[in-house]
Structures are given as structure tokens and as C-alpha cells.
């Protein structure tokens, strides 16, 4: 027996009378659909505190900036704010000529009349009327037969037509068989066709038939099969814009939209970041960015995602989930070592090879294309990270190019600290660890200065002046170069044994162009490798400091 009460549930959706799945062989729709934002209506009606007039205006202006040409601005008969919002758009001349505002109304006379009052003065409008057609709503809410439910729709359609003619306007019409997903598909088609018979859509004045998954009830391929049936059986099909309005109860609002488009739909109603009733509406950001990631222009501009998120969060009081596709704060972040290593190498390869298309491993799109930064957004460090990621941060942010073997040493050191502190380490903290751990280490040996003259045979000869545990000491030094001479002095005079000296250095290009950084690795008698780094305005002094740092670590 199931512990989840599954006996209580059964499928409440209907398969279409004919099932056509040929759309499933298409790879993608090939072009952007007509987008309609329903943020200001469906999104707004689901908020704990619906947006104020000013907040709706701010949101509306953002939608225009993103590029929406159809915007459902509200349910004017719902409240004074909803009504006033549309009046403000009209009175302040905030509706561009190429933008159509859409308003929602129930198929009830007084509500439709109030809606038309709100529309006074609007040039381009879609009047959107709906009634529920599902078995559950017919039986439980309306307690009406199929015929009588169809009548509600037809009466609503007639009222829209008559009031538009009376207003001398050419508003477009939209009808939604609300709760379409719980409606027998052939019956939904019959109701929609009855509405279309009233509206008589033409090529110049198309009607919109909107098929909402008001509550998602099936897997997305079934919704798409329902859409395919409707697309093939609607009358006046050439003059009908077939629209989808997916919700997200099963978490497949985006999949419903994408498959529905393949199955014949022309238009998508959705919201930014999927805000909306219950689990939300289809997330237009994701659907559009999924297209962009396939190289299809979505005709919407999300190039400044952080700005859009800020405004959205401030006016809706909602939060964009950290892992929301494309927009979440963590969606480009790689904490794990192997991902970081591949991303860092992929970025380098890209810089060198300059390929035509984006192929960096683990990153579906280039974060920069939506206003995100590599720094801080992509490679982030915790105890799951590896040397590649740590080295990438040190190189990109601080211009430090450690030798390969030293990267490994530092990578484990950073991992260990993050593990013990049980926290993410930010770039500045990592830089500080690098400094504390390797750079200009001054105990027990601390360099005071060194004087090394060139001899006739090209060798270096002189003294190294230092403190040993605070006591001043001069060592005599000879070698075939200055670093070699200092190393010989430490080994011979202080009897410190090490081998395999590895050395590299570079000018510091980021932050401090007048300084150099040197790195030295040595192997102690016990076979252990240690690393030191030296930073100074003089490259030779930097290398001597790096050697003394390494020796100090060995000691
Ligand atoms: C799936 C969706 O998102 S649909 C959009 C839903 N959005 C909203 O409801 C937000 C705005 N709505 C409101 O502010 C209010 O519901 C109003 C102002 C529109 C109407 O309010 P009220 O008249 O007080 O009540 P209410 O909405 O409960 O209406 C219930 C009545 O309308 C009928 N009704 C509901 N929807 C519809 C419809 N689409 N078409 C025709 N009649 C309808 C019901 O059967 C019920 O009838 P009854 O009075 O004979 O029992
Ligand atoms: C009014 C309709 C389109 C709706 O919002 C829904 O069914 O979710």
C-alpha cells in the first residue's frame, strides 16, 4: 500500500480524439512566438500584496524596455487600482503605438461594461474574456450543462463585439476556455469555434484563442497533443492566433510552452521568472533564453538581467530563486573543482581559438550576455574546489600566474581552510591566504639586504645580510647568478639542505604595475616540496625574498 494516498488521485485530463505527435520530430520552433506578458494581471493577482499603482507603472515600463509588444495590464473590473492603472496609461500617454494592451474580464455583463469604460481612449487593445469549461467547474462551480457553459462563452463573445462596435473601436478579442486542461478537448474546441463564429476573425483582425493549463494535469507531451488537436480543428485557423498560457503545477510550465509551440501554437502568455498563481506561470525569461541559447533571436532583451531582477524583486516583494534558470544567483556558479578546471581551460581555449560559437563546458550561455560577471558569478571557492578554480581567480582578479605545481599546493591549502571554516572563501580572502601563506615570509630568516658584484668570470660574489631569529648575520655568497649565490649561501653557511629549485616570476599587471612577483619551490631532505613567493619593486629582490620565504617554510 502506498503511504501517499495515491488511491485518492486519478488523471483528470482528456486525450484528444485524434492524437498527432508528428510535432515531436521538430527540433525547435525556429522563430520567436508572439510574447504576451501577464505579469501585471496573473502575476499580480497571485502576490501577497498586489502591486500599487506606482509599482505597476514601474513594472510596465520595464516590460516595454524588455521589448514586449503585448501586455496584459490587468483586470480593470477587479479593483480601483486595476482600473486606475489603465486610466493612467491612457491619460499619461504611456502606451506606444506599436504596443497592444490587453485586459481580462469574466463573461459577465457588468464586468465587461466596466472593462470597456476603463479602455476609453486606448488605440490598440485586446479584450480577453474567459469562462471555465472543465468538468470539475461545470459540475461543482457553475452547475451547468455543456450547452449552458458554451452559452456563457458565446454571450461574452457577443457582448465584446457589440460594445466594441458601439465604442467605434477595432479592439481585438481573445477567448480562453479557462481550465482547458480539465476539459474534454473536443468540447473545448466546440466552445472556441462557437466564439469564433461570433467574432468572424479575418486576416486583418485576427482573434486569439488562448489555451491555458490553468492547472497542469499531465505530462507536457500530452498538453502539446491537445494543442495539436486544437490547432488542426479550430475554425478560421489562418485568422486565429493560437496562444498558450501554461501554469507550473507539475513544474513543467516551460516544457508545456516549448512543446506547445512545436505542436502549432503562435503565442505565449507568461511572466518574468514565472511569478503567478500557486507554483506560477510559464517563465518567459527561461523560454526566451532557451531560444537564445539555440541561436534563435527571442526578440526580447534580457541583456541586463541584474537590473530586471532588482526591479522585479522590489515591486513584487518576491525573490528570484537562486537556481532559477538563467536568472538565479547561482546558475553560473561552479564550486566544484573539475567544473572550474574545465571552465577555466575552456575560457582560455576560447580566447586563443576565437571560435564562432559559445562552447565553454558547463556554461550553457556566456553569463556576460545577460549582464553577469565571470568574477564572483562563475568560479566560486569552497571545500569542493580545486587548484584550477583557485588559480583562475588569482590570475583573473590579481594577475598572479603561479607555477603549475604551486597551484596544486595552494589549491589544497585553500580547500583545507574552507573545509575547516565551513564557508565559501571570497577572492579577497583567498588573496590574503596566498599572502599569509607564501609571500615575503620573514621568520626565522628575514632579509636585510644583499650585495653581489659581478666578477671577471661572470660569477656573482658578495654578502647576504639577514636576521636569523632576530639576530643579525652576514653570509658570504658566491654563485653563477644572484639567486644562485644567495641559495648557495643559505645552503653552505646555514647548512640548510634542499634541492630541485623551481623558479618563475612576472611583472604584476593588475593593481601594482611597478611590482614583480617571484615564486620558488624547493624540495627538503624529507622529499617534501615547499613554496614561497616574493613581491618587490625589484625583480631580483623579489626572487631572493621568494627563496627566503620557501626556506622559512621548509624550516
Ligand atoms: C484562472 C484565472 O486566473 S482567471 C482570473 C482570476 N482573477 C481574478 O479573479 C481576480 C479579479 N477578480 C475579482 O476581483 C472578482 O472576482 C470580480 C470583481 C471579477 C468579481 O467579483 P464577484 O462578483 O464579487 O465574485 P466572484 O468572482 O466570486 O464571482 C462569482 C460568480 O461569477 C461567476 N463567474 C466566475 N467566473 C466567471 C466567468 N469567467 N464568466 C462568467 N461568470 C463567471 C461564478 O459562477 C459566480 O456566479 P454566482 O454569483 O452565480 O455564483
Ligand atoms: C484567464 C486564464 C487565461 C488564466 O489566467 C488561466 O487559466 O490561468
What ranges do the domains of the chain cover?
Answer: 29-316, 337-424, 445-554
Residue 221 labelled as part of a binding site: no
Give pLDDT, residue 514.
79
For ligand 1, whether the C-beta of 77 sits within 6 Å is yes
Cα dihedral value 256, 246, 302, 288, nearest 10? 30
Residue nearest to atom 20 of ligand 1 (CA): 78
Q: Stretch 327-333: mean pLDDT, rounded? A: 97
For ligand 2, whether the C-beta of 256 sits within 6 Å is no
For ligand 2, whether the C-beta of 536 sits within 6 Å is no
Tens of pLDDT, residue by residue over 518-548, are 999 999 999 999 999 999 999 999 999 999 9
Residue nearest to atom 49 of ligand 1 (CA): 142
Tens of pLDDT, residue by residue over 121-170, are 999 999 999 999 999 999 999 999 999 999 999 999 999 999 999 999 99
Ligand located closest to 149 CA: 1
The Cα–Cα gap between 555 and 541 comes to 21
Residue 465 labelled as part of a binding site: no
Give pLDDT, residue 511.
60
For ligand 2, whether the C-beta of 72 sits within 6 Å is no
Please, which pLDDT band fits residue 513 given cuts at 50, 70 and 90?
A: low
Tens of pLDDT, residue by residue over 50-99, are 999 999 999 999 999 999 999 999 999 999 999 999 999 999 999 999 99
Which three cell numbers, joined as nine digits, stand for 45?
Answer: 493577482
Q: Relative to the CA of 106, which ligand 1 atom is closest? A: 39
For ligand 1, whether the C-beta of 83 sits within 6 Å is no
Q: Name the residue of 72, 74, 111, 130 to mutate for ligand 2: max ligand atoms within 8 A of Cβ.
A: 130
For ligand 2, whether the C-beta of 482 sits within 6 Å is no
Tens of pLDDT, residue by residue over 222-259, are 999 999 999 999 999 999 999 999 999 999 999 999 99
Ligand located closest to 108 CA: 1
Q: Name the residue of 152, 156, 245, 257 to mutate for ligand 2: max ligand atoms within 8 A of Cβ.
A: 245
For ligand 2, whether the C-beta of 42 sits within 6 Å is yes
- Going by the DSSP 8-state scheme, the letter that residue 140 receives in this structure is I
For ligand 2, whether the C-beta of 212 sits within 6 Å is yes
Distance 166 CA to ligand 1 centre (A): 25
| Proportion of the chain above pLDDT 90, given as a percent | 97
Q: Relative to the CA of 45, which ligand 1 atom is closest? A: 10
Give which of 514, 521, 513 is closest to 543, Cα–Cα.
521
Ligand located closest to 46 CA: 1
Residue 245 labelled as part of a binding site: yes
For ligand 2, whether the C-beta of 210 sits within 6 Å is yes
For ligand 2, whether the C-beta of 133 sits within 6 Å is no
Q: Which residues, in sequence order, are bridge partners of residue 241?
A: 208
Give which of 204, 203, 201, 222 is closest to 213, Cα–Cα.
222
Give pLDDT, residue 377.
87
Q: Decide if domain 445-554 falls under CATH 3.30.160.270.
A: yes
The Cα–Cα gap between 402 and 391 comes to 7
Q: Relative to the CA of 75, which ligand 1 atom is closest? A: 11
Q: Decide if domain 29-316 falls under CATH 3.20.20.70.
A: yes
The Cα–Cα gap between 271 and 320 comes to 12
| Proportion of the chain above pLDDT 70, given as a percent | 99
Distance 378 CA to ligand 2 centre (A): 38
- CA-based angle 367:356:288, to the nearest 5? 45
pLDDT higher than 60, residue 512? no
pLDDT higher than 90, residue 408? yes
Q: Which of 48-62, 256-270, 374-388 has the lowest mean pLDDT?
A: 374-388
Give which of 426, 299, 302, 439 is closest to 370, Cα–Cα.
302
Distance 212 CA to ligand 2 centre (A): 6
Give pLDDT, residue 155.
98
Q: Relative to the CA of 212, which ligand 1 atom is closest? A: 1
Residue 247 labelled as part of a binding site: yes
The Cα–Cα gap between 440 and 447 comes to 9
Please, which pLDDT band fits residue 376 given cuts at 50, 70 and 90?
A: confident
Distance 90 CA to ligand 1 centre (A): 26
Distance 268 CA to ligand 2 centre (A): 12
pLDDT higher than 80, residue 375? no
Q: Stretch 436-440: mean pLDDT, rounded? A: 97
Taking a C-beta distance cutoff of 8 angstroms, is the pair 43, 14 a contact? Answer: no
Give which of 270, 289, 296 is closest to 369, Cα–Cα.
289
Residue nearest to atom 22 of ligand 1 (CA): 78
As a whole number, the mean pLDDT across the chain is 97
Q: Stretch 273-297: mean pLDDT, rounded? A: 98
Distance 110 CA to ligand 1 centre (A): 11
For ligand 1, whether the C-beta of 142 sits within 6 Å is yes
Distance 79 CA to ligand 1 centre (A): 13
For ligand 1, whether the C-beta of 107 sits within 6 Å is yes
Global model pTM greater than 0.90 = yes
Q: Stretch 451-463: mean pLDDT, rounded? A: 96
Sign of CA dihedral 22, 26, 32, 36: positive
For ligand 1, whether the C-beta of 78 sits within 6 Å is yes
Ligand located closest to 281 CA: 2
Residue nearest to atom 7 of ligand 2 (CA): 214
Q: Relative to the CA of 281, which ligand 2 atom is closest? A: 8
Q: Name the residue of 106, 127, 181 to mutate for ligand 1: max ligand atoms within 8 A of Cβ.
A: 106
Taking a C-beta distance cutoff of 8 angstroms, is the pair 285, 326 a contact? Answer: yes
Q: Looking at beta carbons, which pairs linking 330-336 to residues 24 or more positions away fall under 8 Å?
A: 332/363, 332/367, 332/372, 332/377, 332/378, 333/377, 333/378, 333/379, 333/380, 334/362, 334/378, 334/379, 334/380, 334/389, 335/380, 335/381, 335/382, 335/384, 335/385, 335/424, 336/384, 336/385, 336/386
Ligand located closest to 212 CA: 2
Q: Relative to the CA of 129, which ligand 1 atom is closest? A: 39
pLDDT higher than 70, residue 433? yes
Amino acid at each position: 500500500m502506498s503511504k501517499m494516498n495515491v488511491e485518492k488521485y486519478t488523471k483528470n485530463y482528456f486525450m484528444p480524439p485524434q492524437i498527432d505527435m508528428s510535432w515531436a520530430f521538430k527540433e525547435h520552433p525556429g522563430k520567436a512566438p508572439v510574447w504576451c506578458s501577464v505579469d501585471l494581471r496573473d502575476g499580480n493577482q497571485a502576490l501577497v500584496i498586489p502591486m500599487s499603482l506606482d509599482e505597476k507603472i514601474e513594472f510596465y515600463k520595464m516590460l516595454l524596455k524588455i521589448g514586449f509588444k503585448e501586455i496584459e495590464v490587468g483586470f480593470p473590473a477587479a479593483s480601483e487600482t486595476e482600473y486606475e492603472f489603465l486610466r493612467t496609461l491612457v491619460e499619461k500617454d504611456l502606451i506606444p503605438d506599436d504596443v497592444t494592451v490587453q485586459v481580462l474580464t469574466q463573461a459577465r455583463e457588468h464586468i465587461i461594461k466596466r472593462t470597456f469604460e476603463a479602455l476609453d481612449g486606448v488605440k490598440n487593445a485586446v479584450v480577453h474574456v474567459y469562462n471555465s469549461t472543465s468538468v470539475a467547474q461545470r459540475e461543482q462551480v457553475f452547475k451547468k450543462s455543456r450547452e449552458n457553459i458554451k452559452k456563457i462563452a458565446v454571450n461574452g463573445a457577443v457582448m465584446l463585439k457589440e460594445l466594441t462596435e458601439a465604442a467605434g473601436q477595432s479592439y481585438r478579442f481573445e477567448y480562453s476556455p479557462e481550465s482547458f486542461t480539465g476539459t474534454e478537448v473536443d468540447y473545448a474546441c466546440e466552445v472556441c469555434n462557437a466564439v469564433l463564429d461570433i467574432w468572424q476573425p479575418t486576416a486583418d483582425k485576427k482573434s486569439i484563442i488562448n489555451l491555458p493549463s490553468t492547472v497542469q494535469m499531465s505530462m507536457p507531451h500530452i498538453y502539446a497533443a491537445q494543442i495539436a488537436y486544437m490547432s488542426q480543428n479550430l475554425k478560421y485557423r489562418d485568422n486565429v492566433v493560437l496562444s498558450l498560457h501554461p501554469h507550473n503545477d507539475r513544474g513543467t510550465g516551460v516544457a508545456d510552452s516549448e512543446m506547445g509551440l512545436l505542436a502549432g501554437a503562435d503565442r505565449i502568455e507568461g511572466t518574468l521568472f514565472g511569478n503567478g498563481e500557486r507554483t506560477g506561470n510559464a517563465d518567459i525569461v527561461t523560454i526566451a533564453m532557451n531560444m537564445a541559447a539555440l541561436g534563435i533571436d527571442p526578440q526580447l532583451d534580457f541583456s541586463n538581467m541584474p537590473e530586471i531582477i532588482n526591479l522585479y524583486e522590489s515591486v513584487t516583494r518576491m525573490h528570484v530563486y537562486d537556481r532559477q534558470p538563467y536568472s538565479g544567483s547561482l546558475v553560473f556558479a561552479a564550486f566544484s573543482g573539475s567544473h572550474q578546471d574545465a571552465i577555466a581551460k575552456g575560457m582560455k581555449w576560447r580566447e586563443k581559438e576565437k571560435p564562432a560559437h559559445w562552447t565553454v563546458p558547463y556554461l550553457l550561455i556566456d553569463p556576460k550576455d545577460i549582464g553577469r560577471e565571470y568574477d564572483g558569478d562563475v568560479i566560486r571557492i569552497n571545500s569542493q574546489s580545486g587548484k584550477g578554480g583557485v588559480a583562475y581567480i588569482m590570475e583573473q582578479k590579481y594577475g598572479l600566474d603561479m607555477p603549475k605545481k604551486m597551484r596544486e599546493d595552494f589549491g589544497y591549502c585553500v580547500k583545507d581552510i574552507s573545509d575547516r571554516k565551513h564557508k565559501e572563501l571570497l577572492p579577497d580572502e583567498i588573496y590574503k591566504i596566498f599572502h599569509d601563506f607564501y609571500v615575503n615570509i620573514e621568520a626565522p630568516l628575514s632579509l636585510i639586504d644583499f650585495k653581489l658584484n659581478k666578477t671577471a668570470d661572470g660569477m656573482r660574489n658578495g654578502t647576504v645580510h639577514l636576521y636569523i631569529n632576530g639576530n643579525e648575520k652576514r653570509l658570504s655568497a658566491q654563485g653563477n647568478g644572484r639567486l644562485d649565490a644567495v641559495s648557495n649561501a643559505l645552503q653552505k653557511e646555514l647548512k640548510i639542505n634542499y634541492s630541485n629549485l623551481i623558479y618563475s616570476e612576472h611583472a604584476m599587471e593588475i593593481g601594482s604595475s611597478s611590482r614583480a612577483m617571484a615564486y620558488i619551490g624547493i624540495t627538503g631532505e624529507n622529499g617534501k616540496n615547499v613554496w614561497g613567493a616574493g613581491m618587490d619593486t625589484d625583480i631580483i629582490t623579489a626572487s631572493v625574498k621568494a627563496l627566503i620565504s620557501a626556506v622559512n617554510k621548509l624550516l
